[in-house]
Structure 1
């Protein structure tokens, strides 16, 4: 009976940490949505809310990190449980960095509102890229919640689309700057936002790869799409 009680308590501790990671992911996902909306609609109050929410994300990262450390020290987990804890430690780092990128976009919004230099045509295109990156994060968190390793391939393919759109944006901005030097300042700032979105996609892809490690025990970083598909579908 004592042993059964210990196991139930252990499972409850793991589930509590897992819930915090998903809560952190939900906050970060909303940060992306709000940061982009603040940019497109030139909404300084929404931008300030995104920046403020970053403090909650940082606090959750510290909590999860401490909880995981305590579980490792007290419970000495092995096999799948240990992989899940290591996965969560890595995931919260990527989530925190995604939150930082969203906060960067929000601060840029405040800057453009103050100087009244919003350039809407380019931000409309950036919104498409940002929606892709946000969907990648949503799918990665869903894969974690469901312990579903099969999502890694479509997420990696979406990451390539984000990268392609980022490169296309760079080429367009270079063309604008060459044709009209007056656009250089704003073009560089649009490039700054585009890079933040591209980094969000990279972090979301990282999380999906951690899910494969958690479920399959296989590190799929730095491998080809074909190898990734094989590992994700392997029983």
Structure 2
């Protein structure tokens, strides 16, 4: 695995940085499971699995608080510089993206419970399955990029968000047309639209996570760089 951090005179400092990294990846694993389970619960009309997704939110929030405290403690105690500082800043921002992904998965779980109670599978499940698979892979690959410090993978994931947006817009046009043709479907399809919106936001947060990783490795803020201009060799103009 590629290394970004350097060895320090204090082994304790090394241990603190590694613990921070491991806690971030652990939180990422929980969030990744939430997204996958939330989509599966909806497709299977599985209310029990949806409840499990909601319950995982407690674990995500606990890890969010733990990582935030670790970042603040290291900054105050060690006063890191260079790559160490970028690592801490990057993780402190990326962990917020993970927490928001978890929130969106919880929203999908709540919407699933609403749809299950209605007892009918509405239009839009094909789109949910397709976009759900896309954003689940984006989350997985974003975390893999962090684990391996793989900037090429991070750039690839960031660019995939454009495809998710295109699929989302196509699905929205189709569902709006369907509601206009069958007004009786509106209440059910509205829930599906909110699910798709949450999935689209998960894609956004996965992209932002990768942008924070690029900052960690390159030391360049690419949050406002066009995806067309973003490359693994990106340098400020």
TM-score (normalizing by structure 2): 0.92
For residues 225 and 111 of structure 1, what CA distance do their matches in structure 2 show? 36
* Bigger shift: residues 76-85 or 172-181: 172-181
Asked whether 1:221 is paired with 2:220, we answer: no
| Partners of 2:24 and 2:67 within 8 A in 1 | yes
Unpaired runs of 5+ in structure 2?
Answer: 1-6
Asked whether 1:47 is paired with 2:23, we answer: no
1:64 to 45, 51, 67: 67
| Partners of 2:115 and 2:191 within 8 A in 1 | no
Unpaired runs of 5+ in structure 1?
Answer: none
For residues 115 and 130 of structure 1, what CA distance do their matches in structure 2 show? 22
| Partners of 1:136 and 1:155 within 8 A in 2 | yes
1:181 aligned partner: 183
1:82 aligned partner: 85
More helix by share: 1
| Partners of 1:150 and 1:233 within 8 A in 2 | no
For residues 160 and 8 of structure 2, what CA distance do their matches in structure 1 show? 44
Once the two structures are TM-superposed, the CA of residue 6 in structure 1 deviates from its matched residue by 4.9
For residues 234 and 126 of structure 2, what CA distance do their matches in structure 1 show? 35
1:114 to 113, 117, 126: 117
Q: 1:48 to 1:230 in 2, by over 3 A?
A: closer
For residues 48 and 91 of structure 1, what CA distance do their matches in structure 2 show? 26
2:25 to 8, 22, 27: 22
| Partners of 1:54 and 1:99 within 8 A in 2 | yes
- Total equivalences in the alignment: 230
| Partners of 2:165 and 2:200 within 8 A in 1 | yes
What secondary structure does 1:229 align onto? coil
1:95 to 91, 98, 103: 98
1:198 aligned partner: 200
Runs of 4+ in 1 over 4 A off after TM superposition: none
Deviations 1:37-74 (A, max 9, x none): 11000111101100000110010000000011000000
Once the two structures are TM-superposed, the CA of residue 111 in structure 1 deviates from its matched residue by 1.4
1:136 aligned partner: 138
2:16 aligned partner: 13
| Partners of 1:94 and 1:206 within 8 A in 2 | yes
RMSD: 1.7
Deviations 1:135-158 (A, max 9, x none): 111111111111121123321221
TM-score (normalizing by structure 1): 0.93
